[in-house]
Structure 1
Amino acid sequence: MPYPRRIAMISLHTSPLATPGVGDAGGLNVYVAELARRLGERGLGVDVFTRRSDPGVPDVVHVNEYVRVVQVTAGPVAEIAKEQLPGLLDDFATAMEPQVADHQVLHSHYWLSGLVARTLRTRHQLPMVHTMHTMARVKNELRGDGHATEPDVRERGEAQIVADADILTANTTDEADELRRHYGARDDQIAVVPPGVDLHTFHPCDQPRSRAQLGVAQDAEVILFVGRIQPLKAPDVLIRAAARLVRERPERRRRLRLIIIGSPSGPEAGWAATLPRLAEELGIADVVEFRPHSPRAELFRWYCVSDVVGVPSHNESFGLVALEAQACGRPVVATDVGGLRHAVDDGATGLLVPGHDPAEWALAIGSILDDPEGSQWLGAGAAVHAATFSWSNTAASTLRAYAAAQRAYARSRHP
């Protein structure tokens, strides 16, 4: 069966046009934007359907010759809490329905979009590919103490999506195992499609020049966090680890800087306000700097400024921040969980920490800061490792997943 020529990609709750790090925008946005662009470069027509939340954005935004972002009106034309979106799924599917007739495959991202795709798959008899990005049962299993659980409606929705999707794409073999273990996905239903990294934007760079450009002292020891400010991402672990580094070696205070870049996100957005208070309680308010989200070109410079990038998430389906940092030649210290085990080559491009004990994080980060020669070796390995991931490869694997979905759907219609 030939590859499809036109794809209806659904990203209901967040637009690929949004800036990562703002609200619910993050790695999923980057994934959808980069994948759609690379598929368009192969001559596929891709329409990315997203919920209209900004009246100033045109109905259709042309990304390139073959890729469009289409605004779908469902509910108020405004930003609303993600928890309210399940009540708008039927409206979204109905509004989108007249526009999917000339597409050959539906590709949904995240569970809200997946439920819309289920409806359209039935009504239009189209093959369905779904990418989870994160899963409720995995997040609930790995959540930190006191953190909110994912709602039952999401767990039920994801189970329905797995039951109906023709192909499920997983970032890693670990994620494929989670789909089988938590949701009963079949082996022939899963395609492993690793994400990529934009190597044109993120690449090895000149640290002294970047520090001079952004006003960071040349002798500073810089730990960097990038991401949405929410309990799942656990930037508080880095604050506690930094406090321990200062406590163990007080002379380090003059040089040490922990820079946290990102904006509050999700139902626990108020949690972000506890972080400056935590830094003050631990006596390192002068060490920790909070910065809002940055455009990607500026974010590149902040990666370049850093000595080590921390990714202490409780769970990541892959961890694009870890990959971007490594593409810039920066060692990464990350939690030994989920996709981070694949994004970071432990001991060769950075270090994996088995949990969230600040003492263990301080030990790992300190070992990199205290060994400039070893840090350079890790950074060089990180750049080589990251270069093996490309969005072009992601697009090629996704095309194969689309063809597999067409075959699976044909078999289901004509056993």
Structure 2
Amino acid sequence: MTSDEPGVCRRVAMVSVHTSPLAQPGTGDAGGMNVYVLESAKRLARRGVAVDIFTRRTSASDAPVVEVEPGVLVRHIAAGPYEGLDKEDLPGQLCAFAAGMMRVAAHSPEGHYDLVHSHYWLSGQVGWLAADRWDVPLVHTMHTMARVKNLHRAEGDALEPRGREIGEAQVVEAADRLVANTEDEARELIRHYDADAARVEVVHPGVDLDVFHPGDRSEARVAVGVPEDAVLLLFVGRIQPLKAPDVLLRSAATLVRRDPSLRGRLVVGLLGGASGVAVRTPMALDRLAEELDIADLVRFVPPTDRDTLATWMRAADVVAVPSHNESFGLVAVEAQACGAVVVATRVGGLPTAVGDAGVLVEGHDPHVWADAIEAVLDDPERAGELSRRAVERSRAFGWEATAQRLAAVYEAALTTPRRASIDDADVLTGIPTAVTP
């Protein structure tokens, strides 16, 4: 370690192989995890914990090292072609990525990194090797899990591969600490991966309350070009089956059929870009909107900066989060911080994120969703109360609280005995392999 004081973490090697914290959330594979990595790193640095974020280089224009702010470096590692690699291709580049990390460490003072914190299973595989070679603890955050995604996958979504399941099980077994976004995710780790409950810590993601905060709805609508008297239903996120933006379109069509007068006022905003399998097999939401006879009501908005995103959220009557599964649901918390009424599926971490300050819907039946949205639109007093509760609830999710909790997890990892080394037979085989239904 770089400090003689037990439990003190001075520098962390944070690993995010498949997506850069500098990428624009809402497109490709960039999403809530990108925000989590960058924002937690910045808050940790302000607490005196320097963070080097290792991510794959995806462009010749990427500088080898980018200083985000004092104490936070993004290190771009060459591993495979800069462009044209899907996330599914990246397991074949983990060796090259790990070699790049080893080279960085070789040019640093001995004991440069006190701890490795990996995000997502691909990073966990690399982080496992780095932590073993540097003889430091491994802290891992899953973000999503193959076995959970397979249980809740949307129609049209491919099964997560067996290789990912095995890789995740190996990382779970090897990690000194596992960070879960919610209590529900912690239970899933224990249930589906037989994680040691004593090594699972719950740390809620945060929200930047300086960016996401209430504001004047009329001004927000002028800024995004939505009429003052419009009914604005908003979806924010990657356009993929897992996020279920089609549910909002079908629900909007149901609302128009119920009340034809809405056609003159309804605006359905879809803010995000294609991701995952949807890049190669687009969801064709524009065609769906035409089939539903609401194409004239739908606005497709490309991923945008956070200030503009917050403006859209302030302008909305309802922000819909109809995902089939979410480890947390950062969009929901960001929307609530802006005072938006959130209607979300009761799955994964969304009940934790939304709580009693929004509306939770069972399943994805468009008629049920239309009922939930209609109940908000038809009751301004209730909508106002939910908005007030949403803002109050969001204040508990600041990134400073996340960083404080992560620092405590790091301290615990540094002051307890290390887990098994990389040559441990059980770790290498990736057992347990059974999936609890």
**Which TM-score band (shorter chain)?**
over 0.9
CA offset digits 1:151-179 (Å, max 9, x no partner)? 11110000000010000000111000000
* Structure 1 residue 370, shift from structure 2 partner: 1.3
> Per the alignment, in what secondary structure is the counterpart of residue 317 of structure 1?
coil
Rounded Cα–Cα distance in structure 1 between residues aligned with 2:96 and 2:224: 46
> Which residue number in structure 2 is paired with residue 92 of structure 1?
97
Q: Which moved more, 1:136-145 or 1:117-126?
A: 117-126
Rounded Cα–Cα distance in structure 2 between residues aligned with 1:291 and 1:273: 15
Letter in 2 for 1:67: V
> Per the alignment, in what secondary structure is the counterpart of residue 255 of structure 2?
helix
> Which residue number in structure 2 is paired with residue 333 of structure 1?
343
| Distance change in 2, residues 1:141/1:410 (3 Å) | closer
* Pairing 1:301-380 to 2, within 5 Å after superposition: 301-346=311-356, 349-380=357-388
Rounded Cα–Cα distance in structure 2 between residues aligned with 1:248 and 1:173: 39
> Which residue number in structure 1 is paired with residue 164 of structure 2?
154
Rounded Cα–Cα distance in structure 2 between residues aligned with 1:2 and 1:406: 5
Q: Establish whether residue 48 from structure 1 lines up as the match of residue 58 from structure 2.
A: no
Rounded Cα–Cα distance in structure 2 between residues aligned with 1:271 and 1:234: 15
CA offset digits 1:359-379 (Å, max 9, x no partner)? 110000111111122111111
> Which residue number in structure 2 is paired with residue 391 of structure 1?
399
Q: TM-score, normalised by structure 1?
A: 0.97
Rounded Cα–Cα distance in structure 1 between residues aligned with 2:332 and 2:358: 10
Q: Considering only aligned residues, what root-mean-square deviation do their CA atoms show, in Å?
A: 1.3
Rounded Cα–Cα distance in structure 1 between residues aligned with 2:304 and 2:419: 47
* 8 Å CA contact retained: 1:140, 1:149: yes
* 8 Å CA contact retained: 1:231, 1:271: no
Structure 1 unaligned residues grouped into runs of 5+:
none
Rounded Cα–Cα distance in structure 2 between residues aligned with 1:336 and 1:411: 35
Q: TM-score, normalised by structure 2?
A: 0.92
* 8 Å CA contact retained: 1:45, 1:67: yes
* Structure 1 residue 411, shift from structure 2 partner: 7.6
> Which residue number in structure 2 is paired with residue 69 of structure 1?
74
* 8 Å CA contact retained: 1:54, 1:79: no
Letter in 1 for 2:362: P
Rounded Cα–Cα distance in structure 2 between residues aligned with 1:210 and 1:290: 18
| Distance change in 2, residues 1:279/1:84 (3 Å) | same
* Structure 1 residue 145, shift from structure 2 partner: 2.9
Letter in 1 for 2:116: L
Rounded Cα–Cα distance in structure 2 between residues aligned with 1:39 and 1:323: 21
| Distance change in 2, residues 1:273/1:180 (3 Å) | closer
Q: Which moved more, 1:220-229 or 1:78-87?
A: 78-87
CA offset digits 1:352-409 (Å, max 9, x no partner)? 0010000110000111111122111111110000111111010011011111212234
> Which residue number in structure 2 is paired with residue 123 of structure 1?
133
> Per the alignment, in what secondary structure is the counterpart of residue 327 of structure 2?
coil
* Structure 1 residue 196, shift from structure 2 partner: 0.6
**Number of equivalences:** 411
* 8 Å CA contact retained: 1:36, 1:67: yes
* Structure 1 residue 412, shift from structure 2 partner: 6.4
* 8 Å CA contact retained: 2:246, 2:285: yes
> Which residue number in structure 2 is paired with residue 29 of structure 1?
34
> Which residue number in structure 2 is paired with residue 293 of structure 1?
303
> Which residue number in structure 1 is paired with residue 429 of structure 2?
none
Letter in 1 for 2:406: T
CA offset digits 1:74-104 (Å, max 9, x no partner)? 1112252101100000110011113235101
* 8 Å CA contact retained: 1:143, 1:232: yes
* Structure 1 residue 63, shift from structure 2 partner: 1.0
Letter in 2 for 1:221: V
Letter in 1 for 2:29: D
* 8 Å CA contact retained: 2:176, 2:418: no
Percent identity of paired positions between Structure 1 and Structure 2? 53
Rounded Cα–Cα distance in structure 1 between residues aligned with 2:123 and 2:155: 29
Rounded Cα–Cα distance in structure 1 between residues aligned with 2:51 and 2:223: 38
Rounded Cα–Cα distance in structure 2 between residues aligned with 1:331 and 1:175: 24
* Structure 1 residue 268, shift from structure 2 partner: 2.9
* 8 Å CA contact retained: 2:66, 2:75: yes
Structure 2 unaligned residues grouped into runs of 5+:
1-5, 106-110, 422-437
Q: Establish whether residue 381 from structure 1 lines up as the match of residue 386 from structure 2.
A: no
> Per the alignment, in what secondary structure is the counterpart of residue 397 of structure 2?
coil
Rounded Cα–Cα distance in structure 1 between residues aligned with 2:378 and 2:225: 23
Letter in 2 for 1:238: L
> Per the alignment, in what secondary structure is the counterpart of residue 54 of structure 2?
strand
Q: Establish whether residue 283 from structure 1 lines up as the match of residue 293 from structure 2.
A: yes
Q: Which stretches of structure 1, 4 residues or longer, exceed 6 Å deviation after superposition?
A: none
